[in-house]
Amino acid sequence: MRVGSSTDGLAPVSVAERSLAADARQWGGLALVAGAATAADQVTKYVVTSTVNLDDSVHVVGPLSIHHVQNTGIAFGLFSGATAVVVGVTAAAIVWMLAFFARSAARHPVLPAAFGLVIGGSLSNLFDRVRLGHVTDFIDVNWWTFRIFNLADSFIVVGVVILLVALVVADRAPRPPRRTLDVAAR
């Protein structure tokens, strides 16, 4: 903290800086959410691959079915067959997210959960791509054009939505206080 006078009238007289770096509690939250997301996705993929034959479908309820497919690409079938490229881009994205989290986790209290979901889903799909050369997709909602996905994909989407909402809420300018009329003072 600097206190005193300055020859520059625009320079602040006192400056207090708060670190935005991740602390142990935030890293723990990130690890917990990412680990839970990865485990849940791996367990559901194991259950599907061991109980439903490839390309078979089992109706669950309403528009929801379990449809066992293998996907070598990413969302919407992009980069199908380019496993090495997808692995490289995914690994780079995870490293970038971890670096950003390390520097900025204290910006918003939901960052450990949001990044945990995105990183956990990304890691789970990355494990499958490296180990198997594809990911198992199985959640089929018949009302959407690109409808078959897995739990990791859901975690990634939910995490990104949470991040976007947190950014929008954080960037909103605070409302000025409401003026009230004091009837008794008149």
Active site residues: 137, 153
Residue type, 32: L
What span, in angstroms and rounded, lies between the C-alpha atoms of 37 and 48? 17
What span, in angstroms and rounded, lies between the C-alpha atoms of 117 and 110? 11
Strands of 57-61's sheet, edge to edge? 57-61, 64-71, 135-141, 148-149
61: phi then psi, degrees, rounded to nearest 5 = -165, 145
Looking at the DSSP bridge assignments, the partners of residue 64 are: 61, 141
Give the SS3 label for residue 66. strand
Record the tokens describing residue 81, joined without a space. Answer: 């067959």
Q: 10-19 long-range contacts, Cβ below 8 Å, gap at least 24?
A: 18/106, 19/106
